[in-house]
Structure 1
Amino acid sequence: MTRTPLRPLARILAARKEGENPDAIERENLARRHEAARDGQRERAEGRLLVLGVVFLCAFFMVALKMTALAASDPAEPRAAASGAQIVATRADITDRNGRILATNLTTHSLYAQPPQMIEPVRAARALARIFPDLDEERLIRQFTGERKFIWIKRRISPEQQQAVFDIGEPGLLFGPREMRLYPNGKVASHVLGGAGFGREGVSSAEVVGVAGVEKAMDDVLRDPGRGDVPLALSLDLTVQAAVERVLEGGMRLMNAKGAAAVLMDVHTGEIVSLASLPDFDPNDRPRPLTSGDPGDSPLFNRAVQGVYELGSTYKIFAAAQGIEERLVSRSTVIDTRGPLTWGRHKIRDFRNYGSELSVEDIIVKSSNIGTARIAMMIGTERQQDFLGQLGLLEAAPIELIEATGARPLLPPNWSEISTMTISYGHGISASPLHLATAYASLLNGGRKVTPTILRQDAPTLGPRVVSEDTSRQAREMLRAVVTRGTASFGEVPGYRVGGKTGTADKPRPQGGYYEDKVIATFATVFPADDPRYVLVVTLDEPVETSGTEPRRTAGWTAVPVAAEVIRRAAPLLGLAPAVEPPALTGVTLARSD
């Protein structure tokens, strides 16, 4: 902008010539300059007002949009932000082999407090103590009136409890969504499922993690977001499992046993169709582990998998089968059974006197310790170890249950010749009922090793050969004879040709030695014996049968009747129709027509 001088020289000189006052020119120019300055200031002020008006208009427009959005949305409780990594709360369902739900998820809520937001903390504490009787009112008052900013009150509440807390009307009591694990069948298959609990937690979500059983062993699979809605299918049959547990519980009470276990396995696939351990528990309300005493006394203890016991004479069929397989004996080979059999300071005796000699088959039928020990001496220590190892009796069972990893068989520190003899009839070595079921399945299914699994299999997986098909057949026939004319006569179930072997082992004392009046009674069975489909192992802890004049503890009187009832109930559920033999024809003459 060109600035005009107040006293321009040309005009001043012209004014003096004309006799005018030059000061008037200066005043005129000064007035024009002030007027121009006022015009500029006015324009700048008008521009600022315009910009400010536009800003206010935009602000009011944004506020109006936010108010409209809030008015159109549903009301919600305020949430505290959870710091840290994102919590994955989803978990796949677990089903039985037929798709029936064993474990699923249920949406619920947790309850927490933010004391700074509370209006009447003392009244809120008293109201909460009335809703949740297990809460300490005085402690809540101290927490609500203290310096803490955040307090967990309940990790899981019911809809009724949530409504009751709503009715308190306290803004400082807030709810967080939770996805909890639900087991709709209660105690059924509790030791297989194990249970789940909360891992990392935030106010808006919680991590559900497995704490035992298949829930913990398959935790990564169940929590894998890539599975989508695909459930984890177990090999269990829910109907069979419920029937086995019901019969086992009744048998345990009838036989006055401290505990019981049962394993029902498909001999061709290794699938566990039923696995039960008593006493059991409800995984929806899992009890706390014992902090003292014998862990086996806890209902959380899985006797079928974790319990390693001397399983007694059920091992005798292994010695007989190995002797036949290695052509050391045949079923008709006569063995010296005169007793006692002495080795150093140790003496091996039979339960009763069976005579001076027995065939190999009769050794199994009558359950002779001496005869089995003599067969084991023919086999030798190294070959016995190798054979039992092939059957999976010397290492932890490779099954998808977290408890199995720590349940290793108890072996003698020095596997001497006397160990070879006692192990042949099930003493001096301890294994679980699951180990025994796996070994029986591998021996009796035609001689192919199976791997136990709790997951449903689409097809059999043939393992390495353990014995020949002929040896497997002869073993089944000997076990069938145990039921028809031996120690397991109570195990006969019409139509199912049950074969099996009893085992009664004295229970070891914690301080050493054995109890005189406490035993572990076991019956290992295969059915049908001529066309094997399933192996069943039933074990009773400290059973006593008291129907007679004297208490009876042997497996033939205790475990065998229970196993027979399990087969009677479960076989039809498994789709096995009884084989009905036609009655003999009497008074009928057969005529041949040419």
Structure 2
Amino acid sequence: MSFLSRVMVLKSRAHFSAGGRGLSSEQTASFEGTRKRKSAQAKNRVGLLIAGFTVFYCVIGGRLTQYGIAQPEVTSSILPADRLLASRPDIVDRNGEILATDIRTVSLFAEPHKIVDPDEVIEKLSTVLNDLDVKSTYSKLKSNSHFQWLRRQLTPKQQSQILALGIPGIGFRPEKRRFYPGGATAAHIVGYVNIDNRGVSGMERYIDSQGLADLASVGMTSDQPLEPVKLSIDLRVQAIVRDVVASSIGKYHSIGAGAVVIDVHTGEILGMASAPDFDPNDPNANGPEGWMNRMTNSTFEMGSTFKSFTLAMGLDHKKISLNDMVDARFPIRIGGFTIKDFHGKGRFLSIPEVFQFSSNIGTAKVADAVGIADHKAFLTKLGLLSRMNTELPEVAMPSQPREWKKINSVTISFGHGVSTTPLQTAVAGAALVNGGVLHPPTFLPRTEEQAAEIATQVMNPSTSKDMRYLFEWNGAKGSGRNARVDGFDVGGKTGTADKVVNGRYAHDKNFNAFLAAFPMSDPRYVVLSFSDEPKTDKGNGAALAATSAAPMVKEIISRAAPILGVKPKFGNDGSALLVSY
């Protein structure tokens, strides 16, 4: 303490000491009481102030704790914020080309309790949203609720235009929208999602079923990048298949069409299309007609393509050989029905000729030689009578007679009486040419080693070798000639089936299919196409599989084979021909 400070303290003490000497004892006691009372009051006020602040901050802390542990308030019209931004994995083809991806967008909402004049709001919004549902929007704005969606997934331009209107009581929430760069190219395989980014069909729905939907429901996919889902399809091949299928409807005036390309050694789907189809970016644009995947979710009587399985059955059971002859001179009468050939030769036919001329009589006699029980067992083994097991959710159950009788076995032998999906017919066809091995179809990549682990040997390799000969024979000399592509050695079997209308076969409505494989010297791929109710220029059902389905296969193979790495071969010895120009 400095000298000056000490002097000031001493003077103060002296002043109070001098002043106190003149007070009486009563005055002194009164002075002390007053001082103590005022001190106590000050302490009480400070205590009350501390208590007030304590209560205030306890209330704030309690409310913050309550808000922290409370579940987010959810109404039927709005999802929690984390789910609005929940990610879906990209879907890519086998080469990494994007088939489906998420993009950020915004959605328009209103807080009706803050809106004074709904009519003015609707009038302003209509200048940007030309298709605004006035009646529904007015009802939402008059509801006096705290939240209502007005339009989901706006474009950036629409958002900026609405912002410029300066309407109080409306706002925007960020969302994610699924975008399909290829449009309808792979619509039935990829599928589509609903407004809340949940899978509705195709591989989109399959991805949700594998746990994505459960993760999203607990918020574990919120705005987090996920590993892409790679499919087995090749986008280049898929584009070709879809183009051929879509154009065939106009070309043959059919009500539907489809095609598929399968790797016979793995069961992978390289390309598959069904028409009519739809654009997954706007699945409602063309109505529900295009939603049906006719390749997997529709069943048809596949006609004479089933003769391939019947002859394979006869060969596998050693009831026939390629050198045998079958009496096809006379129609077969059974159960009040007459079985006859469409292009009857009226003579004995060799087994290759039964296949070439598509003889119903010859095929029926092969089935009869095998027997009803073994016939049913063989088709079951090929997967033609049970629901196909694959990733796509849209798979139909085949139909068959409740009780197999002789007449059923006979008609089924040439493709009438059993309805299957075109895809499972193609899958069974792959087993005919790949050595007798059945591979479950897949839309996900699969190596030959992985395929071998789940494959089933359904027929002898020697049977498959004989079937390759028959496919090649019919491709070169029979109804498969319209599917031949120079250099690629295409073989196969046509099927022209009358459709059932009101319980009876209609001779003017056909379902035409072609089951093909290539190259027949060492088959690598199976291609199946179909045309549903194709018509000639006269408008009747005279169009046959050889003139509708087979040309579809030819175009697909001629365009896709080089992409698939199949090298063409020319000349009698299979060597390339060098031509000078």
Would the TM-score normalized by the shorter structure come out above 0.5? yes
Residue in structure 1 matching 2:362, options 359, 368, 371: 371
Contact 2:241 2:260 in 1 (8 A): no
1:32 aligns with 2:28: yes
Residue in structure 2 matching 1:349, options 333, 340, 343: 340
Deviation at 1:31, TM superposition (A): 2.4
Deviation at 1:551, TM superposition (A): 7.1
1:477 aligns with 2:466: no
Contact 2:507 2:541 in 1 (8 A): no
1:439 aligns with 2:428: yes
Change (3 A) 1:268 1:338: same
Deviation at 1:332, TM superposition (A): 1.2
Deviation at 1:583, TM superposition (A): 8.4
- What residue is the counterpart of 2:416 in the other structure? 427
Change (3 A) 1:92 1:368: same
- What residue is the counterpart of 1:409 in the other structure? 398
- What residue is the counterpart of 1:242 in the other structure? 239
Change (3 A) 1:495 1:285: same
**In 2, distance between residues paired with 1:269 and 1:443?**
14
- What residue is the counterpart of 1:503 in the other structure? 495
1:219 aligns with 2:192: no
- What residue is the counterpart of 1:165 in the other structure? 162
- What residue is the counterpart of 2:439 in the other structure? 450
**In 1, distance between residues paired with 2:359 and 2:189?**
36
Paired residue secondary structure (1:579): coil
Deviation at 1:139, TM superposition (A): 4.7
- What residue is the counterpart of 2:351 in the other structure? 360
Deviation at 1:262, TM superposition (A): 0.4
Contact 1:324 1:330 in 2 (8 A): yes
Contact 2:245 2:552 in 1 (8 A): yes
Letter of the 1:265 counterpart: I
State the TM-score, normalized to the length of structure 2. 0.84
**In 2, distance between residues paired with 1:144 and 1:86?**
22
Query: Greater CA deviation, 382-391 or 217-226?
Result: 217-226
Deviation at 1:134, TM superposition (A): 2.1
Change (3 A) 1:584 1:559: closer
Change (3 A) 1:379 1:197: same
Larger radius of gyration: 1
Unaligned regions of 5+ residues in structure 1, if any? 1-26, 59-79, 199-206, 586-594
1:287 aligns with 2:296: no
Change (3 A) 1:167 1:553: same
Contact 1:218 1:400 in 2 (8 A): no
Query: Greater CA deviation, 211-220 or 365-374?
Result: 211-220
Letter of the 1:571 counterpart: A
- What residue is the counterpart of 1:64 in the other structure? none
Change (3 A) 1:86 1:145: closer
Deviation at 1:327, TM superposition (A): 1.2
- What residue is the counterpart of 1:43 in the other structure? 39
State the TM-score, normalized to the length of structure 1. 0.82
Letter of the 2:345 counterpart: Y
Letter of the 1:150 counterpart: F
Residue in structure 1 matching 2:521, options 521, 530, 535: 530
Letter of the 1:457 counterpart: R
**In 2, distance between residues paired with 1:425 and 1:583?**
35
Deviation at 1:387, TM superposition (A): 0.7
Contact 1:544 1:558 in 2 (8 A): no
Contact 2:512 2:531 in 1 (8 A): yes
**In 2, distance between residues paired with 1:584 and 1:419?**
44
Residue in structure 1 matching 2:292, options 268, 276, 301: 301
Contact 2:508 2:541 in 1 (8 A): no
**In 1, distance between residues paired with 2:448 and 2:36?**
94
Contact 1:339 1:348 in 2 (8 A): no
Contact 2:186 2:273 in 1 (8 A): yes
Change (3 A) 1:343 1:81: closer
Letter of the 1:409 counterpart: P
Change (3 A) 1:28 1:554: same
Deviation at 1:342, TM superposition (A): 0.7
Residues 427-451 of structure 1 deviation map (CA, whole Å, 9 limit, x = unaligned):
1111111011110012211111110
1:278 aligns with 2:267: no
Residues 138-180 of structure 1 deviation map (CA, whole Å, 9 limit, x = unaligned):
5534543443332211122111111122112123101111111
Deviation at 1:136, TM superposition (A): 3.4
Sequence identity, in percent? 36
Change (3 A) 1:372 1:145: closer
**In 2, distance between residues paired with 1:489 and 1:129?**
60
Change (3 A) 1:380 1:54: same
1:387 aligns with 2:384: no
1:579 aligns with 2:569: yes
Aligned positions of 1:96-245 closer than 5 A: 96-137=93-134, 139-198=136-195, 207-221=196-210, 222-223=212-213, 224=215, 229-245=226-242
**In 2, distance between residues paired with 1:565 and 1:253?**
15
Contact 2:193 2:204 in 1 (8 A): yes
Residue in structure 1 matching 2:555, options 565, 580, 592: 565
**In 2, distance between residues paired with 1:100 and 1:549?**
41
Change (3 A) 1:38 1:458: farther
Residues 302-343 of structure 1 deviation map (CA, whole Å, 9 limit, x = unaligned):
111112111100011111111111111101100111221111
- For this pair of structures, how many residues does the alignment match? 521
Contact 2:88 2:226 in 1 (8 A): no
**In 1, distance between residues paired with 2:574 and 2:364?**
42
**In 1, distance between residues paired with 2:422 and 2:139?**
53
Contact 2:533 2:541 in 1 (8 A): no
Aligned positions of 1:54-133 closer than 5 A: 82=74, 88=83, 89-133=86-130
Deviation at 1:87, TM superposition (A): 5.1
Paired residue secondary structure (2:516): strand
Paired residue secondary structure (2:184): coil
Deviation at 1:100, TM superposition (A): 0.7
Residues 478-504 of structure 1 deviation map (CA, whole Å, 9 limit, x = unaligned):
011111111121111111111100000
Contact 2:278 2:286 in 1 (8 A): no
Deviation at 1:45, TM superposition (A): 5.6
Change (3 A) 1:42 1:458: farther
Query: Greater CA deviation, 325-334 or 41-50?
Result: 41-50
Deviation at 1:135, TM superposition (A): 2.0
Letter of the 1:394 counterpart: L
Change (3 A) 1:139 1:315: closer
**In 2, distance between residues paired with 1:118 and 1:324?**
80
Unaligned regions of 5+ residues in structure 2, if any? 1-22, 55-71, 576-581
Query: Greater CA deviation, 255-264 or 368-377?
Result: 255-264
- What residue is the counterpart of 2:266 in the other structure? 269
- What residue is the counterpart of 2:530 in the other structure? 539
RMSD: 2.8
**In 2, distance between residues paired with 1:139 and 1:347?**
63
Paired residue secondary structure (1:125): helix
Contact 1:126 1:137 in 2 (8 A): no
